[in-house]
Amino acid sequence: MLKAVLFDLDGTLCDTLPLCIEAFRQSIAPLAGRPISDAEIVATFGPSEEGTIRALIPEHYDRGVRDYLACYEALHARYPAPFDGIRPLLADLKRRGLLLALVTGKGRQSCRISLRRLGLENVFDMVETGSPTGVRKTEGMLAVLARFALRPDEAVYVGDTAHDVLSARRAGIPALSALWSSLLQEADVLAAKPDRAFYSVAALRAYLLSAPASAAAGRSV
């Protein structure tokens, strides 16, 4: 039976991907001395924000990290709340006695900013953040399983990208895709064949509160 729900952050709990891109643009372009396109920024995603800065302006790494975090926090006021229904969902899961974990590619400092700004800083039983050297979501999921002595089939991972599906699969955890962010790449996510895909938080909530983690694959609207 389901014992733990692991969540991605950007694009899953809150529509913060546009925030990340804008903060990168404002902080990196002045140091690079040229405009930085959204495509250039997104192409570096996978490692944490520090990895993006190392890829785009390695000669200004320390200043870039500092400026990015300042921009990120200042711009977060535009994104003050999680997606509608996320707070009640998390509260319902905790009332059911489920463990909640966050496994995100964000760096530790930006993750801390977002959890505080979103009022979610005391919600998760464990938080695993990203690395500037590469993608580590699978490692983060496995760390959660190890800490709480869980089998992979006793947990699910909720994320919004094809990479989230593949990372969960490598960890042996059922992948539930959240298809509601503004920058969603739906075709790519569905091509990765998640165990289930949800087009609303309400549908995800209904599933998590009623279905075992090993339920048959499918799509919910």
* DSSP secondary structure, 54-83, as one string: HHH-GGGHHHHHHHHHHHHHHHGGGS-SPS
Phi-psi region of 127 (alpha: psi -120 to 50; beta: other; left: phi over 0): beta
- What is the per-residue pLDDT for 211? 57
Block means of pLDDT (10 residues each) for the chain, 221 residues, are 96 96 95 94 92 95 97 95 98 96 97 97 97 93 98 97 97 98 95 98 96 44 47
Say whether pTM exceeds 0.75: yes
- What is the per-residue pLDDT for 134? 85
| Tokens found for residue 128 | 């695993």
- What is the per-residue pLDDT for 217? 39
- What is the per-residue pLDDT for 212? 57
DSSP 210: T
Would you mind telling me the total number of residues written for the chain in this entry?
221
d(CA 80, CA 56): 28
d(CA 60, CA 65): 9
Catalytic residues: 8, 10
